Chains A and B, each alone.
Chain A
């Protein structure tokens, strides 16, 4: 299995809702990432987990709450989002090693906040 699977593919939520995005990989990768991508822009890093521990938080607002329950699963909990948070949310994974071998990205969750 060489895929990163993200669910749901599309999500519409109100500003008072609570929702969660899910990401799963079975490649044995021990680094997992959340990226946010706005239209016609490059992906922007939000969070990095290494060995299930949060290692990088790019000053993301607390309305985004990541969770890594085990080595295969990564969640992003969403609460009280704003319309400007509408974007494609990408999960990625990679090996943890001295040499960099690149990320594997999922297809993303298209989030619309109304």
Chain B
């Protein structure tokens, strides 16, 4: 119930294409869903996050789509660039007195020039 399942494990996209990464969760008590981007040798950086009261959030080329009934959320990267090549982690957390994130297993994205 505490797991967040992430797919695919790796993804190769042509420059200018759309990258899509999916996550699914079981625990309906989760109410905050961030995406983190991590470059080799660096710590994860918060990319974009969503709460379950909205179905979509867009920031620049990055969009989160959220389906509360299906308990799924996804990251779309529009016009993917080689500089987007990194590992992406979805996560989920609850606000109720805990600051613990449950991370997905990660997706290694490679954008070909």
Contact = CB atoms under 8 A, between A and B. Distances in A.
B100 A42 contact: no
Interface in B81-108: 89, 93, 95, 98-101, 103-106, 108
Contacts of A7: none
Contact of A102 (B31, B49, B100): B49
Nearest to A10: B41
A102 B46 contact: yes
A45 B100 contact: yes
A107 B42 contact: yes
B44 interface: yes
Interface residues of B, number: 23
A55 B97 CA distance: 10
Nearest to B46: A102
A90 B43 CA distance: 7
A74 to B, nearest CB: 14
Interface residues of A, number: 28
A45 B101 contact: yes
A79 B98 CA distance: 28
A106 B101 CA distance: 16
A66 interface: no
Contacts of B41: 107-108, 110
Interface string A70-114: 000000000000000000001010101011101111111010000
Contacts of B89: 42-43
Given A56-B98, A98-B95, A100-B93, A43 B46 contact: no
A99 B95 contact: yes
Contacts of A100: 31-32, 49, 93, 95, 99
Interface string A39-77: 011110100101000011000000000000000000000
Interface in B45-103: 45-46, 49, 89, 93, 95, 98-101, 103
Interface of B: 31-32, 34, 36, 41-46, 49, 89, 93, 95, 98-101, 103-106, 108
Chain A to chain B: the 6 pairs with minimum beta-carbon distance, closest first: A105-B43, A42-B103, A100-B32, A102-B46, A107-B43, A105-B44
